[in-house]
Amino acid sequence: MSEMQRERDLVLNPNEYAYVLDKTKGLISCVVGSYKMSLSTSDSLVVFNEKTKRFEEASFSDAITVFVSAPENWYITLKNPTKDDRHPMPGTSNPLPELKIGKKVNIRGNVSFALYPGQMAKAIQGHRLHSNQYLLARVYDADALEKKESITNNIAAGTIISEVGQENTAAPGTSAKNNVVGTKETEVFEKKYTIGQLLVIKGTEVPFYIPPTGIEVIPIDGEKDQYIRDAVTLEKLEYCILKDEQGNKKYIHGAAVVFPQPDETFVKNPKGGYKFKAIELSDISGIYVKVIADYKENGKQYRAGDELFITGKDQMIYYPREEHAIIDYNGRVVHHAIAIPVGEGRYVLDRKTGNIKMVKGAAMYLPDPRYEVIVKRKLTAEQCNLWYPDNQEVYEYNVGASMPVAAGVSRQKELLRGVCPTSSMDVLYNGFLGQENAVVEEGGFSRSNTYSKPRTITLDNKYDGVVSIDVWTGYAINVISKNGGRKVIAGAQTYLMEYDETLEALELSTDSPKETDHTLKTVYLRVNNNKVADRITVETKDFVSVLLEISYCVDFLPEYKERWFNVENYIKYITDQQHPLLKREAKLHTIEDFCENVTDIVRKVALNLTDSEMPSDQPSVGLNDQNSADNLSFSKPRNNGLNTQKYSGEKTRKGRFFPENGMLIYDVEVINVCVDDRVEEMLFAHQQELVKKSLELSNAGREAEVAARLAQVDKTKADIEYGMKAYRLELENKLAKEIFAQQEELKRLEEEAEQAAWTAKQRLQELLDFVQKSELDRQKEQTQMELDRRRESDSLDIAKQTAYTDAVRKVVEAVSKDLAASMLSAANASLMSDVAEAMGPYAIANGESVAEVTNTLLRGTSLEGLLEKLGVNHL
């Protein structure tokens, strides 16, 4: 029974309380310790569930609750306070009083109390704010703020609050309009607060804050029991963006500490922070801006809808503003200039007119995105094959497929033209870089002890620029524009094509003989050192057919540059002109004559030469004999004047000239001559007979030539021997003359040397005499100086003795007889000592003793013999 009784006893320690429910009456009392209470069978311990707002039965351990406590600088938020603002009394059971359901009050510490059933409380630490921190608060009871006690509590807390849309400049402890500030209890609010009104409490104005009743501090979203918010601290070159509930934005630049208004929030950057870096611009970079609101700056009015392109020439550092909306492309906002090296270019489209211009390098080109767009140009498959033969990469880039290989067509790899920097109507963004939002680093400067390589870039403009054609040395192209323009470009150079330009193609015959069945289509014309091979069958005067294989050397004269592309197939044109002439010339010769002189006959016809211009020893003008070709002169006009053409000033070149396209055949080579086998045998036999007779004649001539040359050799040998003897005699005479001249010269030199020796000896003797005389003069002067010195020394000794004698005389004269008589006997010793001391120099000068000199001087006086009496005779 006692155990059950103890289980029903409710024992509460100090600072503890519990709720007891009377199940019969439904009343709940608050039992506060220190207290002991025996619970009946109808009593039950309950707790208040704040979530469900219901009382639930609980065990003893769960039902006993500690007081709600708030130390100094803390406060308690109490919900459902009593009407008289009292708390349960300790040490007793407190009935439930009438509560203000739904009300909430803030109670400053230090306090500790129990809660009535239905009350809810939370202890919160007072808010200590740094200068870059703030609180966001909400008004939940405007009437409570107007009560006198609330004002007093608010003043005690040192509260300064700012309303929505209004900045507070008052200092703590001073009275300011629209602020809960005052020093007297009689002060009242000049501003009526409304429920739900948001307030900002800044750390720059209130270092410590406890809200009064009627104001609650809003915790940070997602953070439990976290109320203090950090303002945004901006450094130089930083800014932040504040956006209010109406969608208006405000841009604030550093250095500053930024507090938002109650209805404002910070806009986050892509990295999650609230700071943005100012955009750095230069002369070769800019940003594209849309004006979204009217504003005026530097005396200039800007309207909504205007578009601006701001570069570093306008401002080096750009801060966004609320009237501007930056237009970005794929998240990139900064437009950078495009590097265009020398020899390259870019196509630029005018967005308003549709005109496309070409910008050539070297340049750093910054297109204005309001009006200009960098474009590309795609080439067709035919253009790729003609302009860039056998270039697989160019073909795939422009056409989008592999290059097909045409059967039977030999592509000229020597015409390969590198790469094709193409561009299309697609907009280029590779010169278009975005502005990254820099992360604000902690601390100061960070340096490394390793070497940092300088920044380098790689210009890869292979397909981003203007279509360029590399025209090699000795080649030319014909450029045609859509407006009818035409120009011929000769190499070596790189030509940048305008957007509307294309190249004219030639179709050249490739087989021999030259026909039009198989042609090569190309845009490159070889204008120097061009060779054209041909095959032609002619018939001689005696009706023998001869097959000739010929190679023409062709140049296109530069003064007829504009005509070079007038003939589409110049190879077929050459052969069509030359075949009739060669066939007609062959009819004038027999087969023997034709075969013997086939080279001269073909050169005469092909180069349009006259008989006088065909010397037998004239060398042919080949590809490597350009100077000799230039020095030759044209013959007179023949065959409608097609054989003469001015070239390089006054010089002329020999050959057949075609004025239709400025083409000149300056040389021709016969590669092979073919005739019928039987005719060839006959010609061979005849040629052998001619060779045999020619050899016999050649042998006879050689024997005669050998004999003549031997006789000439003997004559030459005799002439050489005679010349050698004469030369030896001449050398001997010349040697004898030179020996005689050398002997005469030697004698003359010996005489001059002897004369010079006597002259030197005489000068030496004169010098010795002068030295001896100077030595005697010095000795004489030295002796005279010694005599003068001794004379001066003797004079000094005499003067010294004279002065001494005068001194003694004056001393003697100073001693009188009256002085000796008046001297006392007691002072005789002292007097004589003085006298002896005074007579000392005189005695030394005469070589006598002091006593003798003194006795001599005092002889006849009363002091005579005094020194002897005193025992000073030794002096």
3-class SS string, 130-189? CCCEEEEEEECCHHHHCCHHHHHHHHHHCCCCECCCCCCCCCCCCCCCCCCCCCCCCCCC
What DSSP element (H or E) covers 599? helix 598-606
Q: Which two tokens stand for residue 818?
A: 């009256």
Query: Is 489 in contact with 471 (CB distance < 8 Å)?
Result: yes
Angle at 408 between CA 405 and CA 412, to 5 degrees: 70
Beta-carbon contacts of residue 716 (< 8 Å; ≥ 6 apart): none
Q: Which two tokens stand for residue 399?
A: 């056409």
Say what the pLDDT of residue 812 is. 65
Say what the pLDDT of residue 774 is. 87
Q: Determine whether 269 is exposed, middle or buried from the number of CB atoms within 10 Å of its CB (0-12, 13-18, 19+).
A: middle
- Cα end-to-end span (Å), the chain: 152
What DSSP element (H or E) covers 66? strand 65-66
Radius of gyration of the chain from Cα atoms?
Answer: 67
Going through 337-485 in order, the beta strands assigned E by DSSP cover 338-340, 345-350, 356-360, 363-365, 372-377, 423-424, 432-433, 468-471, 475-481
φ, ψ dihedrals at 816, nearest 5°: -110, 165
Q: At what angle do helices 570-586 and 598-606 cross, to 10 degrees?
A: 130
Q: What does DSSP assign to residue 583?
A: H
Say what the pLDDT of residue 657 is. 93
Say what the pLDDT of residue 156 is. 36
Distances (CA, A) of 436 to 279, 376, 868: 9, 28, 130
Question: Number of helices (H) and strands (E), helices first, in the chain?
Answer: 15, 54
Residue among 352, 346, 355 at smallest CA distance from 376: 346
Helical spans, DSSP H, in 444-565? none
Say what the pLDDT of residue 452 is. 43
Say what the pLDDT of residue 641 is. 37
Residues for the chain: how many in total? Answer: 875
Report the alpha-carbon distance of residue 356 to residue 358 in Å, rounded.
7
| Count of CA atoms in the C-beta half-sphere (13 A) of 199 | 25
pTM for this predicted structure: 0.52
Say what the pLDDT of residue 826 is. 54
Beta-carbon contacts of residue 67 (< 8 Å; ≥ 6 apart): 15, 16, 17, 112, 113, 114
Chunked mean pLDDT (size 10), the chain, 875 residues: 56 93 91 91 91 91 93 95 92 92 92 94 94 93 70 40 38 34 35 84 93 92 85 92 91 92 90 90 92 91 93 91 87 87 88 90 90 88 86 83 52 37 36 37 39 50 80 93 90 89 91 80 92 91 88 93 92 91 90 86 89 56 36 34 42 82 93 78 68 77 86 88 88 88 88 88 87 87 87 85 80 58 58 70 70 72 63 51
Burial 783-810, CB ≥16 within 10 A → b, else e: eeeeeeeeeeeeeeeeeeeeeeeeebee
Say what the pLDDT of residue 216 is. 93
Beta-carbon contacts of residue 633 (< 8 Å; ≥ 6 apart): 652, 654
Cis previous bond, 704, omega within 30: no
Beta-carbon contacts of residue 443 (< 8 Å; ≥ 6 apart): none
Angle at 422 between CA 416 and CA 425, to 5 degrees: 155
**Max Cα-Cα span within the chain:** 192
What are the beta bridge partners of residue 43? 22
What is the three-class DSSP state of 220?
A: coil
Beta-carbon contacts of residue 104 (< 8 Å; ≥ 6 apart): 77, 78, 79, 81, 140, 141, 213, 216
